[in-house]
Every structure is written in structure tokens, then in C-alpha cells.
Amino acid sequence: MASSANPTLPSAGTTVAKVTSRVALVGNPNTGKSTLFNALAGMNVRTGNYAGVTIEKKIGRCDLGGSDSSGDRRVIDLVDLPGTYSLAPRSPDELVAVEVLTGDVESESPIDVIVCVVNATVLQRNLFLVSQVLELGKPTIIALNMIDTADARGFVIDVDQLSKNLGVPVVCTSASRRTGIADLKSAIRGELEQADSESVQMSKRDRPLPSEFYEVCDELRSELVSRACTTESLSQRAAAESVLPDQYLIERMLLDRGGEAERRAVRSLGAAVLPAISAAREKLAEKVGDPIDMECSARYSWAARSLQDVVSTKLAKPRNATDWLDAVLTHRVVGLVCFFAMMFLIFQCIYSFSSYPMDAIEYGTGLVSDWVTAIVPPGMLRSLLVDGVIAGVGGVLIFLPQIALLFFFLALLEDCGYMARAAFLVDRVMTLFGLSGKSFLPMMSSFACAVPGVMATRVIENRRDRFATIMVAPLMSCSARLPVYLLLIGAFIPSASYVGGFMSTQALVLMAMYLVGVVVAIPVAWLLKRTLLRGEVAPFVLELPEYKVPSASVLFSRVWEASKAFVVRAGTMIFAASIVIWFAGFWPGDHSRQFEIERELERLESIQVAASESPASELAAEPEIVTESPELDEIAAKIETLEAEHRVLSASLLENSALGHIGHVIAPVVKPLGWDWRIGVGAVASFPAREVIIATLGTIYSLGGDVDEEDEGLMSALRASKWPDGRPVFTVPVALSIMVFFALCAQCVSTLLVIKRETNSWFWPVLSFSYMTVLAYFGAMLTYQVGTRFF
Amino acid sequence: MTTLDQLQPGQMAKIVRIDGFDGIASRLREMGFVPGQSVQFLRSAPLGDPLKCSVQGSRIAVRCGEARRVYIEPIAEPALVS
């Protein structure tokens, strides 16, 4: 896919690639901007954040092909900004988007060309944003996207006329069908070359707002300059001018009451500018009426003027596929049935399709583990590699298929346009808990992993709604909790089945664990919206885009990015945590006898294997084996003794290790939960990441780290473990209490770090960690105390 | 003159004004709710809120609370496609 768009860097040919320019993509949401970005940049994409704010930027390399006058290939950096309806900055995030376009971001070189992506089917609405983009005064190209859909709907668009009316190049594209991409590239090339050859004085375009507005703007500008400098000296005047924001931001300062441009002016120039701004607003109101009303009507009439003689329709407004589908999918009854069926189907698919790749990964991890065991002799290094690194990282990688599948389905629903309908359907219910329909997608994502879930809250503009969603997203049962559930359910919940095997107790318990988080999230969100995040009900205005066939490249890149992020996380954080836990369980203590036993065991086992593999007929020819064959029983007995000694020794080493000491300190704390010190250690050890519990339990139950939730060894070790008085440690209430603890706790450093990044404060991650840990503790205690009454 | 939330499914109207100058009023304006434009009420969500309407060729969902800020003049005949 995207082979034509994939840049070859550096080029294999004779010409040398050079990156000289930055091109920004802007546009309304649902204009196919991401698909166009992928078509232009291929897979050569990196994402990043602007320092201090949560706006996500995607940067891709795009080879424009050909060669310019100097014989070099022209390669550009393509900056994809989040979809927006307007360039009026109301939040710091939106301000960053504007500053990227105006070139006010200090750390980055300015944008050379703006490509404004518009949806050809709702051209007039999209021209609102175009009118603001044109005012930035940068070389601009209009990508008239979804032209095929517009064509099918009977719109006839005179592109030349539109280009003439707007005064900028207009290129027809259909990003999903990959048509018009080459034209767009050459248009970008053209604009860049024009900018190269002459320092262009931007041709005066038809300015959308009344001339009075620009007059007042100029007055405000000189007023601000004279306030900023005390003397009339030219040099000071120039310095004051350089402090002033871009002309566009001065315009926004005037237009947006309480907007971000105004706030920034106050920050950089002092509160004294406020009277000047209000005076200018009053003057403007006298001349042309209220600024906001004036702006809207001026821009829309500009849009109508620009579309004169441009759009005609062949058909009288046809009822299109989207309306037909919506009649079903947003129906009061049928719509809800479809909604639940779809959710069920997704979870079903995730579980059924992921088992094969999961088995493959498990097998692969086993192979690596065996290989390391074979080449590294028993000792500290092998223990670190096998019990620490491979067990830790392998135990986490196994969830990659499920995560990839969940992301695939989420991307599918979103890209085809259904997610907005889901938000529409559930909004009323979500408002009861103080959330909104827009919280639905982030919460769904959190079932895979809270990290992308928290990041997906960016679709919620309202700060209070967004933070409330961020706070409850980690309660959704993510895939890292699944192994804990599977291990404990497998070991302790009887597999009785009802309704002809359709429902089993094990499945019911698993479902209950998933529900615990959802059910707890409701009062938490409700409480937050009435305390810390109190405020008016946030508005809900959501565009329901046209249904469309999802773009393979978008799906692929979303799944790829999510999988890559997950593997990196497993490869770094879990890797580090595994080593720390391994070390705490290993040190202090003299392991020489343990390794001696391991060496001896391996020697004996290899003899056993050699003997069993040699056919009886060959035995006669191999005297040394013949002499040993009578001792085979003896060897087996010796292996058993050594294994028993190894178990006891490992257990005592662990108990006297740093981890064991910690365990004994926390033992009284976890006693009310029905846990012994080993479970307590497991829970503490897995504070960085829940997945670690499996490897830790494995280590603790002296089986080494190479156990997973399917491992009969760990399951039976859990079943066999006893309190000093001989009672079994694990009972059904204890297993349930552990599961409830893991369902509610915030044991995930990545999530907490992402919360820090997204809220830009330490308060929220600390709060979510504290409240979830308290909830988990008391939830587990309640489960155990109530459970013991029944079992 | 009435407000957007008072329309019947399928009914069309002409927007007269939007109440207020805060963020949400600006958002409504940016998304096409401007005086003079026609708006069609399409249907409401399963529990009666939010509402789905069509304005300037796009489908927008708004809650009843927001819809009450959109003042309209119902029109009997379907307006011409803008």
C-alpha cells in the first residue's frame, strides 16, 4: 500500500533528497484529512506533542517527485493538525494550531504552504474555515476532497471558477480512491517554487470581513504598540512590534471575547491592554454590530459569494445512503439493538480471533526461553534473562493480538462514521452520570488499554467532561487485567455450566469483572462532576459524518501505531520493571546451592532423555548407557528429591529477599483482604504494571518466572499453597478479592504518565492513583468479607 | 418564532438567530447555524435527546438544551438546497 507515496530517503537514484519546506494540512473533521495525509506520506509518519499542551501533531515525509531547477528531489515535511471547524482559538490547544500556521511556534520553522482540505459535499460550510485560513496570508491550496461522493450525489463543481473566486489553486482529490494525489503534489510543488523564485507579495484576496473591521484592527495594533513603548524612538517601537502577535491573532483578539488570543495578549503585554481591546470592540460594534455575529454572517456571505457560478446540482436533493442507514442505525429500537449487537460481536471477535496469534507468541516466547536456557548455564545471568526479562516481556507481548484487534475494530467503527452515531445513541444515558456521548469512544478504547483511551478524550472539547472521562477511563477493564482474571478463574472458579453449556460460571465471573469497573465508574464520574469538576452541563454539538467505506491505509496505520506503542511499552517499562522485581526477589541471598541443584538437575535430565531416546537395540552397542540404564529409576527418584529441595530453597531465598521483607511488612495490611504476604508482594510488585503479577506469582511460587495464566504449574502451585496453620491460602473469596483488587486498582505507570501529559498537571494522576487504590483495597476487602460468609 | 427543539421530525425551518455569544454559540455558528440558513429536524435519539438535524448539507447532533438557543421560523415547503 501507498508505495507510490512512500518517499525513498535518501534516494537510491542519482538525485539527493533535501527537506526544505513544511506544508500543513488543515480542515474540518470528517473531510478525509487523515486519509489524504496517509496517501501523501505513506507510512513515513511520526507523531509528537507540542510542549506543554496536548495537541497532537503528526508529521510525515512526502516526496513530491521530479526534480527542481537545481536537480534535487523535493521532499517536504507534512504537518497534520487536528480537525477543526474554525481557527478561532478558544483553548491553549487551539492556539497552538493557529501558532503553527502563523509561524509563531519558536521551536519550529514556519509553514511554507497550507493545504486546506475541504469536503466537496458540504462545500459552503467548509468555506468558513477556508476564509480564516486565507486570512493567514500564506500560500494556500484547496484540496477539494471526496469529489467522487459529490459527483455521485449530483453536485457539479466548476473547479476553475472556484479557484478564480478564491484566488488560490484548487485540486480535486479523492483520498480514499487515491485520485488527484499527484495533482496535489504538483500543486504544492508549484506553490513552493513560486515562493522560492520571488518573495511573493500575497495578492490581495477578496477579504471576507467588512473594511471597517480591518481599520479597527490597525488602530488596535498601533494602540498596543504605543502602550508597549514609552518613548517614540524607532528602535524601541520596532522591539515593541516584534512582541506583538501575528496580525491574525490581533484580529482574533478583537473578535473572540474571552478567547485565547486575548488571554495571551494579557500574559505577554499586561492587563493594561484589556481596556484598549474593549474600546476597539465597542468602536467596531458601533460600526458593524456585534463582532461575533458580524464575523459569522460576513464569512458565510463570503462563502456564498465564492460559490457563485461554482456549484450546480443535477438531481433534486436525493436521499442518500447515509440517510437510509441512519434510519436504521439511529432508530429508537432497531438502532439500540444494532448497537448492542455490534459491541457484542466486537468483543466476541477479539476473543475468538486472537487465540491463534496468542498461541503463536506464547510458543515463540517459549522457544526463546528454551534457547537461552540451553546456551546460558544455570546462574544469575540465566535467572535474570529467563525469569526476569523473557517472562516479564513475553507475558505482556502475548496481549498484542487482542490489542491490535480491538484497535482495528475501533478504527473501523470510527472511520466508517459509526462512532459518532454511537455517541448520539448513548449521550442521554451518559449525561445521567455526568459524562457525555463523546466519552463513549475513549471509554470503549480503554477496554483495550487506558493509554489510548485517555488520549482519545481529546475529542471532548469541554474540560470538565474531558477530565471526568480521563479519571474513569482506567476503571474500564483493560487487556492487562485479563491474564489475572484468566489465571484465577481457571484455578478457582468451578466450571459448572448452565443453559445447555451456553453460560458457564467461569464466563459469568469474567463478565462480572468487566462490569465491576463500569459499575464503579458511574458513581465516580457522578461524584467528580459534583465536586472537583462542578459546572454547567457541557454543550453537545457533534457532526454525524457521511457513512463511508473505511480506508485501508487509515485502519492499517492506526493498528500499526497502537501495536508499536504497545510493544515499545512492553519493551521498555515492563522490561525495566521485570528486572527490578527479579532483582528484589533475588537479592540478598546466597544462590550457589540453588544453581548447583539446577546444574545437577539438568545433567540428570539429559541422561534421562538420552536413555529414553535410545532404542533398546542400540543400548547394547553403547556400554556407558547400558551401565547407567539400571539406575534410571534411581535418577528419577534423585530428580524428584532435588526438585523438592529446589522448591524449598527457592521459597526460603525469596522469603529472605528484599521482596520477601517488603511482603512481611505489608502482610498485616493485606490480611483483611484474605491475602498472605506472597499475594501482597505480588500486588506491590505489579504497581508499575498489572501484567507483572503473573510473572511475580510465578517467581514467588518458586517456579521461576516462566509461567503464564495457562500454566498448570502455577495454577496447581496456587491451589497447593498453605497458611502456616495448614489452611489453603487460595479460596474462592480470596481469588475473587484479588480479581476485584486488580479490576479497580490503578497499577499502570503508563496510564498515569499519560494522564499527567494530557492534563498537564500532577494533581490528576495522583488523584486517580489514590482514589483507585483506595477503591481497590476496600472493594477487595468487601469481596473477601462478604465472600467468606458464603463459601 | 419558536426554537429548534419544537420542530416535528422532517420539518424544515429558517434560522432567525442564535442566543448568546459564548463558546457554544460560536461553535453552532461555525458549524453552519447562521441566520438565514434553513435547518431540518431529522429525528431524536432513543431517549429523546440529543436531536439530529441537517444544516448546510451536514448532519449535526445537538442536545435539546442547545437546540433551545436556536430561534427559528418554521417553513411549510422544503427550502431550496443551498
- DSSP assignment of A8-72 equals -SS-SSSS-EEEEEEEEEEE-TTSSHHHHHHHHHTT-EEEEE-TTS--EEEEEEEE--S--TTS-
**pLDDT at residue A242 in the model:** 67
The CATH T-level fold of domain A17-196 is: Rossmann fold (3.40.50)
pLDDT score at B82: 40
Q: Which residues of B touch A313 (CB under 8 A)?
A: 81
Residue A702 has pLDDT above 70, yes or no: no
Question: In chain B, pLDDT over 90 holds for what percent of residues?
Answer: 30
pLDDT category at A70 given cuts 50, 70, 90 is: low
Mean pLDDT, residues A609-631 taken together: 60
Model confidence band, residue A457 (pLDDT cutoffs 50, 70, 90): confident
Chain A touched by B31 (CB under 8 Å): yes
Q: At a CB cut-off of 8 Å and minimum separation 6, what does A344 contact?
A: none
Strands A311-313 and A155-157 turn out to be antiparallel
Tell whether the torsion through CA atoms of A563, A566, A571 and A572 is positive or negative: positive
Which whole number is the average pLDDT over B24-46? 87
A769 has a pLDDT exceeding 80: yes
Spatial distance between the Cα atoms of A371 and A349, rounded to a whole number of angstroms = 34
Chain A hits for B30, Cβ within 8 Å: 85-86, 88, 128, 296
pLDDT recorded at residue A12: 41
Closest partner CB to B28 (pick from A293, A332, A541):
A541
Residue pLDDT, tens place only, A650-665: 777 877 888 888 888 9
Q: What is the mean pLDDT of residues A250-267?
A: 84
Q: Do B46 and A428 touch (CB under 8 A)?
A: yes
Give me the percent of chain A exceeding a pLDDT of 90.
17
Q: What is the pLDDT of residues A567-601, one digit of tens each?
A: 876 677 667 777 887 788 777 878 788 888 888 88
> Cell triple for residue A453?
483511551
ipTM metric: 0.91
Q: Provide the 8-state DSSP code for A121.
A: G
Query: Nearest CB to B57: which of A122, A431, A537?
Result: A122
Pick the residue of B33, B53, B58, B69 with the most A CBs within 10 A to test the interface with A by mutation.
B58
CB pair distance less than 8 Å for B61 and A420? yes
Q: Which of A257, A461, A544 sits opposite B59 (nearest CB)?
A: A544
Q: Which of A122-131, A397-406, A481-490, A742-751 has the lowest mean pLDDT?
A: A397-406
Q: Band of the pLDDT at A338, cuts 50, 70, 90?
A: very high
Q: What is the mean pLDDT of residues A397-419?
A: 83
Q: In chain B, what residues touch A316 (CB-CB under 8 Å)?
A: 81
* Subunit contact B30:A296, Cβ cutoff 8 A: yes
A542 part of contact set with chain B, CB < 8 Å = yes
Per-residue model confidence (pLDDT) at position A18: 60
Please, which residues 34-63 of chain B have a Cβ atom closer than 8 Å to chain A? 34-37, 42-43, 45-50, 52, 56-63
Classify the C-alpha dihedral A504-A507-A509-A514 as positive or negative: negative
Highest mean pLDDT, choosing among A7-11, A612-616, A728-732: A728-732
Question: Is the confidence at residue A7, as pLDDT, over 70?
Answer: no
What pLDDT score was predicted for residue A130?
93
Residues 417-446 of A with CB under 8 A from B: 420, 423-425, 427-429, 431, 437
Cα gap A362→A174, rounded to integer Å: 42
Q: Using the predicted structure, report yes or no on whether residue A191 has a pLDDT greater than 50.
A: yes
Instruction: Show which of residues 264-283 on chain A sit within 8 Å of chain B, judged by CB atoms.
Output: none
From B11's Cα to the closest Cα of chain A, the distance in A is 15
Dihedral in degrees, nearest 10, Cα atoms A329, A151, A132, A140: 130
Tell me how far apart the 2 most distant CA atoms of chain B are, in Å.
33
Q: Which of helix, strand or coil describes residue B53? A: strand
Q: What is the pLDDT of residue A699?
A: 65
Q: Is A666 helix (H, G, I), strand (E, B) or coil?
A: helix
Secondary element (H or E) of residue A303: helix A291-306
Distant-in-sequence contacts of A263-272, Cβ < 8 A, 24+ apart: A264/A95, A265/A224, A268/A243, A269/A224, A269/A227, A269/A228, A269/A243, A269/A244, A272/A227
In this prediction, residue A351 has a pLDDT band, given cuts at 50, 70 and 90, of: low
Q: What is the pLDDT of residue B39?
A: 92
Q: Inspect the interface and report whether the beta carbons of B45 and A326 lie closer than 8 Å.
A: no
Q: What is the pLDDT of residues A297-327, one digit of tens each?
A: 889 889 988 888 888 877 656 567 888 888 8
- pLDDT at residue A707 in the model: 45
pLDDT of residue A13: 43
Average pLDDT, rounded, for chain A: 81
In this complex, which of A300, A322, A332 lies closest to B34 when CB atoms are compared?
A300
Residue spans of the domains in chain A: they are 17-196, 211-296, 589-653
Region A146-158 average pLDDT: 87
Chains A, B: CB contacts within 8 A come to 118
Predicted confidence at residue A141, as pLDDT, reads 95
Determine whether the interchain pair B26/A88 forms a contact, defined as Cβ–Cβ distance below 8 Å. Answer: yes
Please give the share of chain A, as a percent, with pLDDT higher than 70.
85
CA distances from A143 to A83, A119, A157, B9 (A): 14, 9, 13, 35
> With 80 as the cut, is the pLDDT of residue A636 above it?
yes
pLDDT mean over A222-228? 78
* Residue B74 near chain A (CB below 8 Å): no
- Chain B residues within 8 A of A281 when measuring between CB atoms: none
**Nearest Cβ partner for A296 among B29, B46, B56:** B29
Q: What is the mean pLDDT of residues A712-732?
A: 79
* A86 and chain B in contact, CB less than 8 A: yes
Q: φ and ψ at A204, to 5 degrees? A: -65, 110
Work out the number of other CB atoms within 10 angstroms of the CB of residue A127. Answer: 27
- d(CA B74, nearest CA chain A) in Å: 20
